[in-house]
């Protein structure tokens, strides 16, 4: 591969490709974050995007999710260009950004019900789902009265109901305690084992076995 600023480790090989990128180049404020990047993400993959601040991790996630456009290159979903099947791709995508997107004037349960509805998921079991992220007992509390970690857990709770094949998560472990991180990692493995894929950024090491994780390492470029 000709890309000089990304090191890609692929310990897991799978021919059932869900998401791929060809010749992907991203330029922000006249600086090349990465160029000619090649990615193949298959069903069963857990992919960690790593690198220093400013290397382009969030930019890469947003491009993969279709929220930003690359300077050059193409994103494919199941071997067909996303541009030709945006609706089908979005039906199979769950993206959680760095910010939790919680509305302070709504309760924890109302926030979760709203987020689930936005993604076409059932809100009938929202209260039970909050128990998965240790928010049972806070379902009727206004989000404005809750901590940053509780905001993050409201956002993450929808993962337990998601039927989307592709999960793209920007710093999902932010403000989450050790037990919460372990539970999320178990969920990622379960989702991958069920034929999905997980693409995430995190500043901490995953405790999963090395053979379960594909790593994409971006380097900071000064030009």
Interval 104-138: pLDDT, tens: 999 999 999 998 888 777 788 888 899 999 999 99
Q: Which residue from 113, 110, 115 is spatially nearest to 99, judged by alpha carbons?
A: 115
Asked if the model's pLDDT at residue 12 lies above 50, the reply is no
What's the confidence (pLDDT) of residue 13?
A: 42
What's the confidence (pLDDT) of residue 15?
A: 58
Asked if the model's pLDDT at residue 83 lies above 80, the reply is yes
Q: Which residue from 62, 12, 7, 19 is spatially nearest to 214, judged by alpha carbons?
A: 12
What's the confidence (pLDDT) of residue 7?
A: 47
pLDDT in tens, 62-76: 999 999 999 999 999
What is residue 199's three-state secondary structure? strand
- Buried/exposed code over 56-75 (b: 16+ C-beta within 10 A; e: otherwise): bbbbbbbbbbbeeebeebeb
pTM: 0.90
Residue 184 burial class via C-beta count within 10 angstroms: exposed 0-12, middle 13-18, buried 19 and up: buried
Q: How far is CA 138 from CA 132, 145, 183, in A?
A: 13, 10, 19
pLDDT in tens, 166-215: 999 999 999 899 999 999 999 999 999 999 999 999 988 899 999 999 99
């Amino acid at each position: 591969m000709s890309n000089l600023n990304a090191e890609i480790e692929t310990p897991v090989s799978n021919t059932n490709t869900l998401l791929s990128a060809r010749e992907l180049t991203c330029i922000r404020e006249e600086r090349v974050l990465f160029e000619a990047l090649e990615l193949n993400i298959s069903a069963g993959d857990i992919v960690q995007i790593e690198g220093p601040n400013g290397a382009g991790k969030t930019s890469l996630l947003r491009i993969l999710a279709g929220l930003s456009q690359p300077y050059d290159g193409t994103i494919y979903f199941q071997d067909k260009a996303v541009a030709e099947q945006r609706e089908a791709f979005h039906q199979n995508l769950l993206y959680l950004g760095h910010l939790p997107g919680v509305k302070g004037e709504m309760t924890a349960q109302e926030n979760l019900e709203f987020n689930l509805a936005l993604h076409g998921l059932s809100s009938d079991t929202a209260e039970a789902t909050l128990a998965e992220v240790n928010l049972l007992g806070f379902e009727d509390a206004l989000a404005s009265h809750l901590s940053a970690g509780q905001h993050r857990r409201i956002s993450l709770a929808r993962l337990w109901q998601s039927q989307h094949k592709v999960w793209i998560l920007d710093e999902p472990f932010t403000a989450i305690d050790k037990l919460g991180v372990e539970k999320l990692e178990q969920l990622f493995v379960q989702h991958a084992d069920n034929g999905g894929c997980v693409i995430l950024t995190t500043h901490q090491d995953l405790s999963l076995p090395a053979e379960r994780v594909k790593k994409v390492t971006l380097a900071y470029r000064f030009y």
